[in-house]
Amino acid sequence: MIVFVHGVPETAAIWRKIQAIIDRPSTAVELPGFGCALPDGFTPTKDAYADWLVAQLDAIGEPIDLVGHDWGAGLTYRIATAFGDRLHSWVADVGNIAHPDYVWHDFAKIWQTPGEGEAFFESQAAQPLDERAGAFAALFGIPADDAIEMASAGDATMGECILGLYRSATPNPHADWGPWSPTSAPGLIVHPTEDPFANEAQARETAEQLGAQFATIEAIGHFWPYQGPDAAATVLERFWSSLD
C-alpha cells in the first residue's frame, strides 16, 4: 500500500493528480489540523505528528511504500530512520531539511518567531481567497485551480498547527532526529530542480547518509504533485518497479 503524506500549507488533496495516474493501491492521509479537526489533546509538534503517522501505518497493517512531500518528507525521514520496520520503501523530497547543516527558509523563520508568526496568519486570514490563491500561483507557479484549492483549506487551525510544527523543529529536524544511518527499507530522495526551498548538494549528501537513491524531477518546482504529476509519477513508478 502506498501512503502519501502532504506538507505545509496543504491538505491530502495535493496528491489527487498523482493518485489518478499511478496504477497501484494508495491512500493520502490528512495530518491533524490540515483540512480536518485536531484530535482532543493533540499538540502539533513534529514528534506528535510522527507518532500519529506511525499509528496510521500500523492501522493499515501491511508494509508501506511511504511518500512524503515538504513536512510530509520530514516525517518520512523520521519514520524511515526510527520506525523502518513499518516500511517496504520510502520516497521524500527536500532532502536538505534532513541535513545537519540545514538552515530554515525565511517563511519558517517568521513562523518560528513568537508574535510574528501569529501576525502572519492573521494577515493571511484577512485576505480574500483570490488574493491568497493568486500569491500561490505567482510565487510558486501553482496552477490556478490548484492554488484556489490550497488557499481555501487555510484556516486558523492550520495556522496554529504550522506554528507549533515549525517551532518544535529548531534549529532543524536533524538536531533532534539525527544522526542518520542507512535505512532498512530502500529509499529515494527526489529533487525538483526548480524548488526554491531545496538544496541539491545537501539533498544528495542526505541520500548518501541514508543509503538512498537520488532522482531529479526536471523543470518542476516545490509543489510538484500539483505542478508536474506526470513527470513525478514516472519517477515514482520507476523506483517502485525496481523493487518488484
Q: Look up the pTM and report it.
A: 0.97
The average pLDDT across 173-186 equals 97
Total Cβ atoms within 10 A of residue 39:
10
Mean pLDDT on 123-152 = 95
Rounded CA-CA distance 53/226 in Å is 23
Residue spans of the domains in the chain: they are: 2-243
Query: Which CATH code, of 1.25.40.10, 3.20.20.80, 3.40.50.10860, 3.40.50.1820, is assigned to 2-243?
Result: 3.40.50.1820
Q: What is the pLDDT of residue 244?
A: 78
Q: Which three cell numbers stand for residue 24?
A: 497501484
Confidence of residue 128 (pLDDT cuts 50, 70, 90): very high
